[in-house]
Amino acid sequence: MYALHEAREDTVWFSAIRKFVSDNKYDTLGENFEKKEHQLFGEGGFEEIVDRVAAIEKEFGIYDLAQFTPKTRAS
């Protein structure tokens, strides 16, 4: 699910925001987001949290979304 979210950010959101802010402001925003990420999640940042969540999902046997997705008949 995150891959789709990330793809939208990369192809839609970040492309759109560049139309409204200067390169300098864009870079500053990125630096500020990075600082906030480390404040919230520690030095490992978001990637470390994703790894921890993945480990928990595997431990509980809920990491494979296909097992929870209803099957549909091909048209």
The domains of the chain are located at 18-67
Structure confidence at residue 4 as a pLDDT band (50, 70, 90): confident
**Does 1 have pLDDT greater than 70?**
no
CA quadruple 22, 26, 31, 33: dihedral, nearest 10: 140
Distance CA 25, CA 43 (A): 24
pLDDT one-digit tens code per residue, 22-46: 999 999 999 999 999 999 999 898 8
Of residues 53, 70, 38, the one with CA closest to residue 2: 53
Q: How confident is the model at residue 64 (pLDDT cuts 50, 70, 90)?
A: confident
